A and B are shown apart, each in its own frame.
Chain A
Amino acid sequence: DAKTTQPNSMESNEEEPVHLPCNHSTISGTDYIHWYRQLPSQGPEYVIHGLTSNVNNRMASLAIAEDRKSSTLILHRATLRDAAVYYCILRGRNTGGFKTIFGAGTRLFVKA
Protein backbone atom coordinates (compact mmCIF):
# COMPACT_ATOMS: atom_id res chain seq x y z
CA ASP A 1 0.00 0.00 0.00
CA ALA A 2 1.23 3.47 -0.86
CA LYS A 3 2.22 5.51 2.20
CA THR A 4 1.92 9.17 3.09
CA THR A 5 4.25 11.32 5.18
CA GLN A 6 3.00 14.29 7.17
CA PRO A 7 4.51 16.51 9.87
CA ASN A 8 3.49 15.41 13.36
CA SER A 9 2.09 18.80 14.29
CA MET A 10 1.63 22.35 13.08
CA GLU A 11 0.53 25.55 14.67
CA SER A 12 -1.47 28.42 13.24
CA ASN A 13 -2.96 31.69 14.37
CA GLU A 14 -6.69 32.18 14.14
CA GLU A 15 -7.93 33.91 10.98
CA GLU A 16 -4.70 33.08 9.11
CA PRO A 17 -4.30 30.58 6.26
CA VAL A 18 -2.87 27.15 7.00
CA HIS A 19 -0.98 24.95 4.56
CA LEU A 20 -0.78 21.30 5.59
CA PRO A 21 1.73 19.33 3.48
CA CYS A 22 1.70 15.66 2.57
CA ASN A 23 4.25 13.57 0.69
CA HIS A 24 3.17 10.47 -1.20
CA SER A 25 6.08 9.61 -3.47
CA THR A 26 4.87 6.03 -4.14
CA ILE A 27 1.39 7.03 -5.30
CA SER A 28 0.02 4.99 -8.17
CA GLY A 29 -1.79 6.40 -11.14
CA THR A 30 -5.20 5.32 -9.88
CA ASP A 31 -4.86 6.46 -6.25
CA TYR A 32 -7.06 9.32 -5.15
CA ILE A 33 -5.71 11.80 -2.57
CA HIS A 34 -8.15 12.26 0.28
CA TRP A 35 -7.99 14.45 3.36
CA TYR A 36 -9.94 13.70 6.50
CA ARG A 37 -9.87 15.39 9.86
CA GLN A 38 -10.64 14.08 13.30
CA LEU A 39 -11.91 16.27 16.07
CA PRO A 40 -11.49 15.10 19.69
CA SER A 41 -13.75 12.15 20.55
CA GLN A 42 -15.18 12.03 17.02
CA GLY A 43 -14.75 9.76 14.06
CA PRO A 44 -12.81 11.12 11.08
CA GLU A 45 -14.75 13.38 8.73
CA TYR A 46 -14.17 13.94 5.05
CA VAL A 47 -12.59 17.24 4.02
CA ILE A 48 -11.68 17.06 0.35
CA HIS A 49 -10.25 14.78 -2.32
CA GLY A 50 -8.69 14.97 -5.75
CA LEU A 51 -6.92 12.95 -8.42
CA THR A 52 -4.80 15.29 -10.52
CA SER A 53 -6.29 18.77 -10.56
CA ASN A 54 -6.53 21.25 -7.72
CA VAL A 55 -9.88 21.18 -5.93
CA ASN A 56 -11.89 23.65 -3.91
CA ASN A 57 -14.89 23.17 -1.67
CA ARG A 58 -16.53 25.07 1.13
CA MET A 59 -14.16 23.65 3.72
CA ALA A 60 -10.77 23.83 2.06
CA SER A 61 -8.64 23.72 -1.07
CA LEU A 62 -6.39 20.91 -2.23
CA ALA A 63 -3.30 21.66 -4.25
CA ILE A 64 -1.77 18.63 -6.00
CA ALA A 65 1.75 18.70 -7.38
CA GLU A 66 2.13 18.08 -11.09
CA ASP A 67 3.93 14.77 -10.48
CA ARG A 68 1.32 13.87 -7.82
CA LYS A 69 4.04 12.99 -5.33
CA SER A 70 2.89 15.62 -2.88
CA SER A 71 -0.18 17.64 -2.01
CA THR A 72 -1.17 20.49 0.29
CA LEU A 73 -4.40 21.04 2.14
CA ILE A 74 -5.17 24.72 2.46
CA LEU A 75 -7.48 26.12 5.11
CA HIS A 76 -8.02 29.69 4.03
CA ARG A 77 -8.85 31.15 7.44
CA ALA A 78 -8.19 28.94 10.42
CA THR A 79 -10.68 29.01 13.26
CA LEU A 80 -10.48 27.45 16.69
CA ARG A 81 -12.89 24.78 15.47
CA ASP A 82 -10.32 23.68 12.89
CA ALA A 83 -8.04 22.35 15.63
CA ALA A 84 -7.93 18.64 14.84
CA VAL A 85 -5.77 15.84 13.48
CA TYR A 86 -5.62 16.02 9.68
CA TYR A 87 -5.01 12.83 7.73
CA CYS A 88 -3.73 12.68 4.18
CA ILE A 89 -4.79 9.35 2.67
CA LEU A 90 -4.26 7.61 -0.61
CA ARG A 91 -7.49 5.87 -1.52
CA GLY A 92 -6.72 3.08 -3.92
CA ARG A 93 -9.25 0.90 -5.60
CA ASN A 94 -9.39 -2.76 -4.75
CA THR A 95 -11.80 -5.39 -5.93
CA GLY A 96 -14.52 -4.38 -3.54
CA GLY A 97 -14.44 -0.64 -3.47
CA PHE A 98 -11.83 1.80 -2.27
CA LYS A 99 -9.23 0.94 0.34
CA THR A 100 -8.67 3.73 2.84
CA ILE A 101 -5.39 3.50 4.75
CA PHE A 102 -4.55 6.13 7.37
CA GLY A 103 -1.14 7.37 8.49
CA ALA A 104 -0.37 9.17 11.74
CA GLY A 105 -1.70 12.54 10.59
CA THR A 106 -0.84 16.13 11.49
CA ARG A 107 -2.18 17.61 14.69
CA LEU A 108 -3.14 21.23 13.99
CA PHE A 109 -3.10 23.68 16.88
CA VAL A 110 -4.90 27.00 16.36
CA LYS A 111 -4.04 29.93 18.60
CA ALA A 112 -6.54 32.67 19.35
Chain B
Amino acid sequence: EAGVAQSPRYKIIEKRQSVAFWCNPISGHATLYWYQQILGQGPKLLIQFQNNGVVDDSQLPKDRFSAERLKGVDSTLKIQPAKLEDSAVYLCASSLWGGGTNTEAFFGQGTRLTVV
Protein backbone atom coordinates (compact mmCIF):
# COMPACT_ATOMS: atom_id res chain seq x y z
CA GLU B 1 0.00 0.00 0.00
CA ALA B 2 1.46 3.36 -0.99
CA GLY B 3 1.92 5.85 1.82
CA VAL B 4 1.19 9.55 2.02
CA ALA B 5 3.18 11.35 -0.65
CA GLN B 6 4.43 14.89 -0.22
CA SER B 7 6.42 17.18 -2.48
CA PRO B 8 8.77 18.85 -2.57
CA ARG B 9 10.94 17.38 0.19
CA TYR B 10 12.90 20.60 0.62
CA LYS B 11 12.27 24.23 -0.30
CA ILE B 12 14.28 27.38 0.30
CA ILE B 13 12.65 30.74 -0.41
CA GLU B 14 13.21 34.36 0.48
CA LYS B 15 10.84 36.12 2.83
CA ARG B 16 7.81 37.65 1.16
CA GLN B 17 7.89 35.02 -1.58
CA SER B 18 5.14 32.47 -2.09
CA VAL B 19 5.38 28.70 -1.76
CA ALA B 20 3.06 25.74 -2.22
CA PHE B 21 3.20 22.20 -0.89
CA TRP B 22 1.40 19.22 -2.32
CA CYS B 23 0.03 16.11 -0.59
CA ASN B 24 -1.44 12.91 -1.99
CA PRO B 25 -3.08 10.91 0.82
CA ILE B 26 -3.51 7.16 0.98
CA SER B 27 -6.24 6.04 -1.41
CA GLY B 28 -9.64 5.98 0.25
CA HIS B 29 -8.68 8.14 3.22
CA ALA B 30 -11.36 10.75 3.72
CA THR B 31 -9.63 12.74 6.45
CA LEU B 32 -6.55 14.81 5.61
CA TYR B 33 -4.45 16.92 7.99
CA TRP B 34 -1.74 19.53 7.53
CA TYR B 35 0.69 20.11 10.39
CA GLN B 36 3.50 22.57 10.95
CA GLN B 37 6.47 21.31 12.96
CA ILE B 38 9.00 23.87 14.12
CA LEU B 39 12.40 22.48 15.09
CA GLY B 40 12.32 20.96 18.57
CA GLN B 41 8.52 21.08 18.91
CA GLY B 42 5.68 18.68 18.33
CA PRO B 43 3.56 18.98 15.17
CA LYS B 44 0.91 21.70 15.31
CA LEU B 45 -2.36 21.08 13.47
CA LEU B 46 -3.03 23.74 10.85
CA ILE B 47 -6.08 22.38 9.06
CA GLN B 48 -8.19 19.24 8.87
CA PHE B 49 -10.30 18.21 5.88
CA GLN B 50 -13.06 15.66 5.68
CA ASN B 51 -13.31 14.84 1.98
CA ASN B 52 -13.18 18.32 0.40
CA GLY B 53 -14.69 20.18 3.34
CA VAL B 54 -12.78 21.97 6.08
CA VAL B 55 -13.47 20.55 9.54
CA ASP B 56 -11.01 22.59 11.59
CA ASP B 57 -8.78 25.47 10.54
CA SER B 58 -8.69 27.30 13.85
CA GLN B 59 -4.90 27.41 13.98
CA LEU B 60 -4.31 28.30 10.34
CA PRO B 61 -2.92 31.86 9.94
CA LYS B 62 -5.48 32.79 7.34
CA ASP B 63 -3.88 36.09 6.42
CA ARG B 64 -1.04 34.22 4.73
CA PHE B 65 -1.83 30.50 4.69
CA SER B 66 -4.43 28.80 2.54
CA ALA B 67 -5.24 25.18 1.81
CA GLU B 68 -7.57 23.36 -0.49
CA ARG B 69 -8.54 19.81 -1.21
CA LEU B 70 -10.28 19.74 -4.51
CA LYS B 71 -12.25 16.59 -5.32
CA GLY B 72 -11.52 15.29 -1.87
CA VAL B 73 -8.21 13.66 -2.77
CA ASP B 74 -4.99 15.69 -3.24
CA SER B 75 -4.38 18.79 -1.21
CA THR B 76 -2.19 21.87 -1.48
CA LEU B 77 -1.03 24.20 1.26
CA LYS B 78 0.11 27.67 0.24
CA ILE B 79 1.95 30.41 2.08
CA GLN B 80 1.81 33.92 0.64
CA PRO B 81 3.85 35.91 1.62
CA ALA B 82 6.28 33.82 3.66
CA LYS B 83 7.89 35.07 6.86
CA LEU B 84 11.07 33.92 8.55
CA GLU B 85 9.05 32.27 11.33
CA ASP B 86 7.37 30.00 8.77
CA SER B 87 10.58 27.97 8.54
CA ALA B 88 9.47 24.50 9.60
CA VAL B 89 8.61 21.02 8.37
CA TYR B 90 5.11 20.81 6.92
CA LEU B 91 3.58 17.39 7.44
CA CYS B 92 0.57 15.92 5.72
CA ALA B 93 -1.36 13.02 7.23
CA SER B 94 -4.46 11.06 6.33
CA SER B 95 -6.80 8.59 7.96
CA LEU B 96 -9.86 6.58 7.16
CA TRP B 97 -13.25 7.84 8.14
CA GLY B 98 -14.36 4.87 10.16
CA GLY B 99 -17.84 6.17 10.82
CA GLY B 100 -17.01 6.56 14.48
CA THR B 101 -14.45 3.80 14.79
CA ASN B 102 -11.08 5.22 15.67
CA THR B 103 -8.32 4.65 13.14
CA GLU B 104 -4.69 5.64 13.02
CA ALA B 105 -3.29 8.56 11.06
CA PHE B 106 -0.57 7.98 8.49
CA PHE B 107 2.04 10.68 7.93
CA GLY B 108 4.13 11.68 4.96
CA GLN B 109 7.81 12.48 5.27
CA GLY B 110 7.14 16.20 5.21
CA THR B 111 8.42 19.23 3.35
CA ARG B 112 11.22 21.16 5.02
CA LEU B 113 10.78 24.88 4.34
CA THR B 114 13.56 27.35 4.98
CA VAL B 115 12.72 31.04 4.67
CA VAL B 116 15.77 33.30 4.39
Contacts of A103 in B (CB 8 A): 42
Per-position binary interface string of chain B over residues 73-111, scored 1 when its CB falls under 8 Å from any chain A CB and 0 otherwise: 000000000000000000101010100101111111110
**In the complex, which range does the number of interface residues on chain B fall in?**
20 to 34
Contacts of A68 in B (CB 8 A): none
Which residues between 56 and 112 of chain A lie within 8 Å of chain B, taking CB atoms?
Answer: 85, 87, 91, 93-105
Task: Tell me whether A96 and B43 are in contact in the complex, defined as CB-CB below 8 angstroms, given that A43-B93, A43-B109 are known contacts.
Answer: no
**In whole angstroms, what is the CA distance A93 to B55 when docked?**
11
Contact B42 A105 (CB under 8 A): yes
The count of chain A contact residues (Cβ–Cβ below 8 Å) is 27
Contact A96 B104 (CB under 8 A): no
Contact A96 B49 (CB under 8 A): yes
Contact B102 A91 (CB under 8 A): yes
**In whole angstroms, what is the CA distance A93 to B48 when docked?**
12
Contact A99 B107 (CB under 8 A): no
Q: Which residues of B contact A (CB under 8 A)?
A: 4, 30-31, 33, 35, 41-45, 48-50, 53, 55-56, 91, 93, 95, 97, 100, 102-110
Sorted nearest first, the 3 A-B pairs with minimum C-beta distance are A96-B50, A96-B55, A43-B107
Q: Which residues of A contact B (CB under 8 A)?
A: 32, 34, 36, 41-46, 49, 51, 85, 87, 91, 93-105
